[in-house]
Amino acid sequence: MIPSFLSLAVLSVGLCDLYAIFTRKHSWRYAFKPATMLFIIVLAGYGSPDAGTYGWLILIGLLFSLAGDIFLVLPSDRFIQGLLSFLLAHLCYASAFLLSAHWEWKLTLATALPLIAIAVLYTGQLLPGVHRQGGVSLQIAVIAYVLVITLMVWLGLLTQSPWITAGALLFFVSDAVLAWNRFVKDGWWGDPAVMITYFSSQYLLAYSVLVAPNG
């Protein structure tokens, strides 16, 4: 009953955030974007006591994500602080996924090689725009972030959990769209696409706590 209510709350408030994007009511997003994440955090918190270390790591990662959301939605757009917050979130997620990763060499190679290729090629497209906006220091920060999120997605795939796999991949897509919109070419579709994939990814990772085996 409680997970169903929280899931409905995530959907309802998330749709309000999308409405604020489409109607250009940016001030509304100060409430709706963090509120959506708060309901997702409560959902993970509901299941974390029974999910052991995995649940707590996901919960901490969600809290870092909330901090990142707040930094990015502020009028001053504190991108570096937001980037650092999400980097820490991905380290928490990666640590959680490591607990149940399956180290089969065929699976390891089949997941690692495509991810590395995508990350290298995509980052190469981003770096000129990153340099224009923040110079070498921002390029280094973005490269570090790409390394960490790629690691997170790879470990997520190795868990072979459908919830974790979908959540990790959607996070990858969300950040890819956000980066393209910010550093290459801004499009009207960018913000809605980012938020749909982002909220979906975080919800799936939170839900994975509810279905995680004890311990």
pLDDT digits (tens, 9 = 90+) for 184-196: 988 888 899 999 9
Is 4 a residue whose pLDDT tops 70?
yes
pTM for this one? 0.93
Asked if residue 40 belongs to a domain, the reply is: yes
> Number of structural domains, the chain?
1
pLDDT surpassing 80 at residue 77: no
Asked if residue 33 belongs to a domain, the reply is: yes
- Residue with the larger pLDDT of the pair 51 and 178: 178
Using DSSP, state whether 124 is helix, strand or coil: helix
- With beta carbons less than 8 A apart as the criterion, state whether 134 and 184 touch: no
Q: To 10 degrees, the CA torsion angle through 77, 81, 84, 88?
A: -100
Q: Is residue 215 part of a domain?
A: no
Question: What average pLDDT does the segment 50-74 reach?
Answer: 93
Q: Is the pLDDT of residue 76 over 80?
A: no
Q: Residue 134 belongs to what domain range?
A: 2-210
Q: Is the pLDDT of residue 215 over 50?
A: no
In a domain? residue 86 = yes
